[in-house]
Amino acid sequence: MSDLVFARVEWVILIPLGAAALLALLPGYRLTARLNVAAAFLTLLAALSLLFTPHPAAGTYLLVDDLNVVFIALNTFVGFTTSVFSASYVGHELETGRLTPTYLRFYHAMYQLLMCAMNVALVANNIGLMWVAIETATLTTILMVGIYRTHEALEAAWKYFILGSVGIALALFGTILVYVAAQPVIGEGLNAMVWTKLVAQAGKFDPALLNVAFIFLLLGYGTKVGLAPLHAWLPDAHAEGPTPISAVLSGLLLNVALYAVLRFKMLMTANAGAVAPGPLMVTMGLVSLIFGAFMLYRRRDIKRLFAYSSIEHMGIITFAFGMGGPLANFAGLLHMTMHSLTKSGIFFAVGHVAQAKGTQRIADIGGLTETHPWLGWSLVAGVVAIAGLPPLGIFMSEFLMVSSTFARAPGLAILLVLGLLIALGALFLRLNGLAFGEPRGQSHPVKASYGPLFAHLALVLAAGLYLPPQLVAWFQHVSQLLG
């Protein structure tokens, strides 16, 4: 099977790259929106073919292993569903005149370039290449956040620009330090930046240098994950950009940055003398969780509300990976997958809600289940899922996390549960006003695409009810890899 032409890792990079070039040249909404969906679908197929074929040998630049295949599959799947949602979303934005055809062309090209950059970051076997890919992904999202060119959008893009640039600058310093640590052992040149070679030799690196490098990498890539106190760009960027971009930011880009942190965490654990990266990640995760949970109470903008919820959930995932061990890692992986699906699903619903109501202010949105029953009830389902109620997928992962933490560190488990409960209260408080009661505010008909939304919610529900044994075995295997 491995000689299948299609099952090559390069395709997940080349398809979006080619599509980006093509979409930059082609005019017309109908054609380009469909082409965008088609390109995302082809990328998804290419990614799925990687799942079912044996991994190719690791190269100097590219690598496919059991860990990043999970990320690539999730990345391309959400990328595909978001492109379907985006087609109907931008159609409405064109009608209302918030986007012009020129900007639309730019938007589609940037969307595919972002998918390309994220896939490069995921399959990179070279820590320098990974850095360049994450920088490119940051640049494309900055441009898309500012695409509406309102005062608020430009300010959000500027803030994201400055904070994101500082983050990636710190990450680069960490990357250079890793190279300096590797160079005496592996020798000069490209080999000392190849991740598989680094991790094989990590035991011989200077532990003190690795410690400093990891601090820089955690702070740098942690800015992109949105961990408190480095999160300041995240709510603005989510609230002011087009909603498909909020979905991709929350569902995917934060994961890609976290993936980079995980790769370097594996490097740290391979060195016996280096400081354990776990406690650092646990602390940052818990701080983000509790901070995010409290901040949920004072939100007045619906997209900001769910942006803070993303900070909270990235905190939970970082906490789980920081705890380490097979069970916590399993819970972390499951939670990451479920959060990506649920949160992008919620943003699909929120995007249409904001279009139907003509506003993002929570005070002007009310009684959605009466005026827009389908949208309203799917938003309710999404919030129930993200709050972690049974029988949905996030309940499963949070339950696993809490129970495994209770066995090892009861004090931390109490903080974790506290954060989860605070967030649950805030979400239901807001949901009550949004979905039930007297209809408030204006109401426009909206041609929504429910396909992606229902697909995500169905997957989250299915995962909560029954996880296929193959998937469980796969995740268990990856959890062991993560150590």
Partner 1 sequence: MPNLAFDTAHLFAGGLVLVSFVLLYQDRLTSLLNIYALHAFVLALAVAWQADIQNAPHLYVTAALALGFKAIIIPVALRRIVERLGIHREIETVVGIGPTMLAGMALVALSMVVMLRVTAAAAPIAREDLAFALAVVLLGLLIMVTRLNAVSQVVGFMSLENGLILAATGAKGMPLVVEISVAFSVLIAFIVIGIFLFRIRERFDTVDLAALDQFRGERR
Q: Which residues bind partner 1 (CB under 8 A)?
A: 126, 128-129, 131-132, 135-136, 139, 142, 149-152, 154-155, 157-158, 161-162, 165-166, 169-170, 172-173, 176-177, 179-180, 183-184, 188-190, 192-193, 206, 208-209, 211-212, 235-236, 239, 298-301, 304, 361
Which candidate, 256, 237, 33, places its Cα nearest to that of 135?
A: 256
Nearer to partner 1, 250 or 404 (CB): 250
Q: Minimum CB separation from partner 1 for residue 192, in Å?
A: 8
3 state SS of 301: strand
Length reported for the chain: 483
Nearer to partner 1, 189 or 410 (CB): 189
HEC profile of 178-243: HHHHHHHHHCCCHHHHEHHHHHHHHHHCCHHHHHHHHHHHHHHHHHHHCCCCCCCHHHHHHHHCCH
Q: Minimum CB separation from partner 1 for residue 103, in Å?
A: 13
Q: Minimum CB separation from partner 1 for residue 407, in Å?
A: 36
Phi–psi pair at 230, nearest 5 degrees: -105, 20
- First-last CA distance in the chain: 30
How far is 226 from 288, CA to CA, in rounded Å?
8
Nearer to partner 1, 208 or 462 (CB): 208
Nearer to partner 1, 185 or 418 (CB): 185
Nearer to partner 1, 219 or 453 (CB): 219
Question: 305 near 217, Cβ under 8 Å?
Answer: no
Nearer to partner 1, 74 or 434 (CB): 434
Q: Minimum CB separation from partner 1 for residue 176, in Å?
A: 5
> Among all chains, which residue has been given the structure tokens 């408080």?
429
Q: Minimum CB separation from partner 1 for residue 474, in Å?
A: 33
Distance of CA 85 to the CA centre of its chain: 17
Which candidate, 93, 129, 130, places its Cα nearest to that of 108?
A: 93
Nearer to partner 1, 300 or 477 (CB): 300
Give me the torsion for CA of 111, 114, 118, 123, rounded to 10°: 90
Nearer to partner 1, 145 or 254 (CB): 145
Residue 124 pairs with which residues in a beta bridge?
62
Q: Minimum CB separation from partner 1 for residue 189, in Å?
A: 5
Burial of 255 (0-12, 13-18, 19+ CB in 10 A): buried
C-alpha dist (Å) from residue 384 to 280, 307, 338, 361, 453: 31, 16, 13, 21, 14
Residue 366 pairs with which residues in a beta bridge?
440
Nearer to partner 1, 296 or 448 (CB): 296
Q: Minimum CB separation from partner 1 for residue 179, in Å?
A: 5
Residue 62 pairs with which residues in a beta bridge?
124
Nearer to partner 1, 143 or 482 (CB): 143
Q: Minimum CB separation from partner 1 for residue 149, in Å?
A: 6
Q: Minimum CB separation from partner 1 for residue 15, in Å?
A: 23
Q: Minimum CB separation from partner 1 for residue 281, in Å?
A: 21
Question: 379 near 316, Cβ under 8 Å?
Answer: no
